[in-house]
Structure 1
């Protein structure tokens, strides 16, 4: 696939044109405000955006392996947030093409234009599946994230197992919570609670014990206990 005159790959130009055809300034303004004015928006609501994305991938297909990284990076560099969302969905849809070196550039997506909307998707829908495919890379990379000074990478280290359920490595989960549990950063405290709340669906005893043992922040503890309380209410209703 050759570059176009404006240096965008035709694949990127195509989805950009498709999204631009559904631009809505009346939607874009509140969407931008919701994201604290950090990003521009076409103003396409999520349901329609997903429909447009599926239509495009169905019609055009996925990029070739040789152009996958460049395509996603170009999408990420576009000003409109919807194109970052499309880039993430494209990445997840391309998992059969993933290679052992891909996390080097996937990590750049985490640390560029970072906010909870992209970081959380990348944690559970990119990093999580990628480490399942390349488990030998998990410890080295996630331990580096956990020790990073970038709190978005720290958040990734807590959340990448979010969808692992019974396959969750509880030793890793606990060991990554320990150095971060006194963090003052809201997004870290929230991530710890969210990870424990989610794992409580699989092993409530482990989560309950951990919450009692560790001096978690009130926010982390509150979020974690939501999972325990939900299970308790369900059992009482039986």
Structure 2
């Protein structure tokens, strides 16, 4: 799967390259990544054409494709890989988690990490509960983006959220000084508040959180 799909995608992306838009996109992302200058709706259209007619990928093929996309300098390739991982997350076994962790910590920023956290790691943990122990390790990891992933992996669990674990994770990182961790704490709590607002109110009232985390958690309450 990897080479034919990536070859087709490359041809399609290159034909749509827009240097002026790429410069604006690079500036928006604080000059951390190069871009082709392809907007999201067009990226999705070209991605559909690149994978048209292909069978569902195996785990090995999917991870190889992701690695190949991560090796490309332009960010649109990483977006494509994230979307493919999200779409085919069901083929990922617990053995894939170290590879996903490597993607999270390579060229990391919120735009890829949040998709991998909530749409890839989250479903993996739901399907294979053995990975809960990995999340318990990740919440204390030295890598900021791994911690953020642990905080956000339950983001869309709704009534299936392990609230005790969510609150425990937020408490463990409540004193973290980084914006992206404080924001993730608030976001995770705000999302769970849609399911159990009283539990979130009680937790926030009883917990010493940063102002940012508190504001985010209570934004819709």
Conservation of the 8 A alpha-carbon contact between 2:21 and 2:38: yes
2:154 alignment partner in structure 1: 161
Matches within 5 A, 1:18-33: 18-33=12-27
2:220 alignment partner in structure 1: 227
Assess, with a 3 A threshold, how the Cα gap between structure 1 residues 196 and 67 changes in structure 2: closer, same or farther.
Answer: same
1:89 alignment partner in structure 2: 83
**RMSD between superposed Cα atoms in Å:** 1.4
Cα deviation, 1:23-60, whole Å, max 9, x if unaligned, reads 00111001000111111101000111111112222244
- TM-score of the aligned structures, taking structure 2 as reference length: 0.95
Q: Structure 1 CA distance, aligned partners of 2:14 and 2:53?
A: 18
Residue of 169, 173, 181 corresponding to 1:176:
169
2:67 matches 1:73: yes
Conservation of the 8 A alpha-carbon contact between 1:110 and 1:122: yes
Cα deviation, 1:57-96, whole Å, max 9, x if unaligned, reads 2244444444222111011111010000000111112223
1:144 alignment partner in structure 2: 137
Q: Structure 2 CA distance, aligned partners of 1:205 and 1:218?
A: 19
Conservation of the 8 A alpha-carbon contact between 1:63 and 1:71: no
Structure 2: any 5+ residue segments left out of the alignment?
Answer: none
Q: Structure 1 CA distance, aligned partners of 2:213 and 2:49?
A: 40
Higher relative contact order (CA 8 A, sep 6+): 2
1:119 alignment partner in structure 2: 113
Conservation of the 8 A alpha-carbon contact between 1:177 and 1:192: yes
Larger of the two Rg values belongs to structure: 1
Q: Structure 2 CA distance, aligned partners of 1:154 and 1:99?
A: 21
Q: Structure 2 CA distance, aligned partners of 1:189 and 1:57?
A: 37
Conservation of the 8 A alpha-carbon contact between 1:11 and 1:63: no
Matches within 5 A, 1:180-195: 180-195=173-188
Structure 1: any 5+ residue segments left out of the alignment?
Answer: 2-7, 229-238
- TM-score of the aligned structures, taking structure 1 as reference length: 0.89
1:4 alignment partner in structure 2: none
Conservation of the 8 A alpha-carbon contact between 2:188 and 2:217: yes
Residue of 37, 40, 47 corresponding to 1:43:
37
Conservation of the 8 A alpha-carbon contact between 1:198 and 1:227: no
Assess, with a 3 A threshold, how the Cα gap between structure 1 residues 61 and 23 changes in structure 2: closer, same or farther.
Answer: farther
2:192 alignment partner in structure 1: 199
Assess, with a 3 A threshold, how the Cα gap between structure 1 residues 148 and 96 changes in structure 2: closer, same or farther.
Answer: closer
**Bigger shift: 180-189 or 13-22?**
13-22
Q: Structure 1 CA distance, aligned partners of 2:59 and 2:98?
A: 16
**Per the alignment, in what secondary structure is the counterpart of residue 147 of structure 1?**
coil
The size of the alignment, in residue pairs, is 221
